[in-house]
Structure 1
Amino acid sequence: MKKIKLLILFILIFSNIYFSMFLGANIGKELGGKNRYVLGTEIGSYSSIIALSLNLYYPMSGTDLDLENTNFSNIKLVEIDPYLSLNLKISSSAIYVGVAPILIADLETFEFGLYSRDIFHGKIGLKTGAPITISLEAITTFNLEFLSTDIYTINLGIGLTF
């Protein structure tokens, strides 16, 4: 497992050194499941047919979006998704579809591990504009037979491409 984690980290670092980078933030809403909001950040490369990105998500508790009363210093767990995507680049836009294992990071103990060996995230999205980039994507959770859990998250993001 440690070799896989190091390989993913190496691929993400290598791709972001040699290709253009995207750095952004997003907010999403679960449709189904707990119907909660999700805050996220992303770093990745969408310049070639193979896109790589590292996404961090914080699922907020409750169904209301209340950023003013959210104490971000109390965040203890975040989700990390290292996506490998197929990317169709059209001018300053990119349409992509990707998959990622779901990792959970404990920010107090600095430990992380695989959420499950049987499920992963899949996403489809669109990024457009440069250097300011707007993104829209849909994410769902799949099992190893590619059956969705029917819980979807719709994310809207903004970032910089450089």
Structure 2
Amino acid sequence: MKRITLLILLFLFSSIYFSMFLGASIGKEMSGKNRFVLGAELGTYSSIIGFSLNIYYPLSGTNLDLENTNFSEIKLVEFDPYLLFNLKISSTSIYVGVAPILIVNLQNTEIGLYSQEIFHGKLGLKTGAPITLSLEAITTFNLQFLSTGIYTLNLGIGLTF
């Protein structure tokens, strides 16, 4: 818990000095359970080292059915604090990042590590300002940097300020 608190404080401190991105995304697992995934993100992409706090909620089933999704019944979400390496070209960022996978229980605000041996990696592109479009590919790795074969493609939109 101390590490999470330190990471959040570091992120908030860095946000004073770097421009911020706030956005939402929708993704699709290309293997595994083939679910759709909703996401929200707060991040910094303006320098070589960046941070991104992502929250993901996988929808049940393989169809995108937002009308029948009861968002008030969400109990668990995935929280990924990414450390990013950015290549900034004008208003476009190409980035790669890694993050531990944390599970947050929204009912009692407990946070737990999904696994000590598995983490997420992402490769992405963000372009535009102040309205920013993004495309990301996310996969799950083990400690030997071998992918588990589960990939997600995310499309997003947000604001850079």
The TM-score with structure 1 as length reference comes to 0.98
Q: CA deviation at 1:69?
A: 1.1
The match for 2:74 is 75
Q: CA deviation at 1:14?
A: 1.0
The match for 1:104 is 103
In the TM superposition, what whole-angstrom CA distance separates every residue of 1:129-154 from its partner, at most 9, and x where no partner exists?
A: 00000000000000000000011000
Residues of 2 paired with 1:16 and 1:44: CA distance?
Answer: 8
Q: Percentage identity across aligned positions?
A: 74
1:16-27 residue pairs with structure 2 within 5 A?
Answer: 16-27=15-26
Residues of 2 paired with 1:111 and 1:88: CA distance?
Answer: 35
Q: Please, which runs of 5 or more residues in structure 1 have no aligned partner?
A: none
Structure 2 counterpart SS, 1:15: helix
For the aligned residue pairs, the C-alpha RMSD in angstroms reads 0.6
Residues of 2 paired with 1:11 and 1:123: CA distance?
Answer: 21
Moved over 2 A (4+): none
Q: CA deviation at 1:88?
A: 0.2
The match for 1:10 is 9
The match for 2:144 is 145
Number of residue-to-residue matches in the alignment = 161
Residues of 2 paired with 1:6 and 1:43: CA distance?
Answer: 16
In the TM superposition, what whole-angstrom CA distance separates every residue of 1:65-103 from its partner, at most 9, and x where no partner exists?
A: 001111100100000000001000000000000000000
Q: Please, which runs of 5 or more residues in structure 2 have no aligned partner?
A: none
Residues of 2 paired with 1:126 and 1:51: CA distance?
Answer: 13
Q: Larger deviation: 15-24 or 139-148?
A: 15-24
In the TM superposition, what whole-angstrom CA distance separates every residue of 1:7-31 from its partner, at most 9, and x where no partner exists?
A: 1111111111221000000000001
Does 2:14 align with 1:48? no
1:125-144 residue pairs with structure 2 within 5 A?
Answer: 125-144=124-143
Structure 2 counterpart SS, 1:9: helix
Structure 2 counterpart SS, 1:47: coil
Residues of 2 paired with 1:134 and 1:6: CA distance?
Answer: 29
Structure 2 counterpart SS, 1:146: coil
Residues of 2 paired with 1:44 and 1:17: CA distance?
Answer: 12
